[in-house]
Amino acid sequence: MSKQQVVTIKGTKDGLILRLDDQCAYSDLLEELGKKAQDPGLEGAVEVQIHTGSRYCSDQAAKEIIQIVQSAGHLRVSKIQSDVITMEECNRRVQEQQSETYIGIVRSGQEVHAKGDLVVIGDVNPNGHVSAAGSIYILGRLKGKAHAGNAGNREAVIAASWLEATHLMIADQMETMTDELAILSEHPEMECAYLHTNGFIAIDRLQDLRLLRPGLSTFKGGS
Amino acid sequence: MGEAIVITSGKGGVGKTTSSANLGTALALQGKKVCLVDTDIGLRNLDVILGLENRIIYDLVDVIEGRCRIQQALVKDKRFEDRLFLLPAAQTTDKNAVTPEQMKDLITELKRDYDYILIDCPAGIEQGYKNAVADRAIVVTTPEISAVRDADRIIGLLEAEDIEPPKLIINRIRRNLINSGDTLDVNDITSHLSIDLLGIVLDDENVISSSNKGEPVVMDPNNPAALGYRNIARRILGESVPLMSVDTGKPGFFGKLKSLFSK
B159 near A CB under 8 A: yes
Residues facing B197 on adjacent strands: B168
- What pairing do the DSSP bridges indicate for beta strands A167-170 and A173-176? antiparallel
Average pLDDT of the residues in A130-142: 95
Confidence of residue A41 (pLDDT cuts 50, 70, 90): low
Average pLDDT of the residues in A173-199: 81
Contact call for residues B87 and B36 (beta carbons, < 8 A): yes
Of all residues in chain A, what percent are helix, strand and coil, respectively (each to 5)?
25, 35, 40
Residue A129 has pLDDT above 60, yes or no: yes
B144 near A CB under 8 A: no
Farthest-apart Cα atoms in chain B, separation: 68
Q: Domain count of chain B?
A: 1
- What pairing do the DSSP bridges indicate for beta strands A15-20 and A46-51? parallel
Contact call for residues A50 and A69 (beta carbons, < 8 A): yes
Nearest-5° angle of CA B91, CA B96, CA B102?
100
Nearest to B149 among A104, A122, A127 (CB): A127
Q: Amino acid identity of B39?
A: T
A164 near B CB under 8 A: no
DSSP string, A57-86: --HHHHHHHHHHHHHTSSEEEEEEE-S---
Q: Which residue, among A108, A123, A127, would best test binding to B if mutated, counting the most B CBs under 10 Å from its CB? A: A108
Inter-chain CB proximity A108 and B159 less than 8 Å: no
The more confidently predicted of residues B93 and A195 is A195
Q: Which of the 8 DSSP states describes residue B73? A: H
Contact call for residues A80 and A62 (beta carbons, < 8 A): yes
For chain A, list the domains and their CATH numbers.
7-81 (3.30.750), 91-216 (2.160.20.70)
| Cα B257 to the center of its chain, rounded Å | 41
The residue range of the domain holding B237 is 3-262
- CB contacts < 8 A, A to B, total 27
B101 near A CB under 8 A: no
Taking chain B (263 residues) in runs of 10, the rounded mean pLDDT of each run is 91 92 95 94 90 92 92 93 92 81 91 94 72 85 94 90 90 87 88 93 92 91 92 94 72 63 63
Top mean pLDDT of A26-30, A101-105, B129-133 is at A101-105
Average pLDDT of the residues in A99-123: 94
Distance CA B8, CA B156 (A): 13
B184 near A CB under 8 A: no
Confidence of residue A47 (pLDDT cuts 50, 70, 90): confident
Residue A102 has what pLDDT?
A: 95
Residue B259 has what pLDDT?
A: 65
Distance CA B221, CA A51 (A): 87
B155 near A CB under 8 A: yes
Inter-chain CB proximity B149 and A110 less than 8 Å: no
Q: What is the dihedral of CA B65, B68, B71, B75, to 10 degrees?
A: -90
Strands of the B197-202 sheet, one edge to the other? B75-76, B84-87, B34-38, B116-120, B3-8, B136-141, B167-173, B197-202
Partners of B149 on chain A (C-beta within 8 Å) are 108, 126-127
Distance CA B8, CA A189 (A): 36
Q: Amino acid identity of A3?
A: K
ipTM over 0.90: no
Contact call for residues B120 and B17 (beta carbons, < 8 A): yes
Instruction: For residue B208, give the CATH number of its domain.
Output: 3.40.50.300
Inter-chain CB proximity B156 and A110 less than 8 Å: yes
Residue B247 has what pLDDT?
A: 62
Q: Which residue, among A107, A111, A145, would best test binding to B if mutated, counting the most B CBs under 10 Å from its CB? A: A107
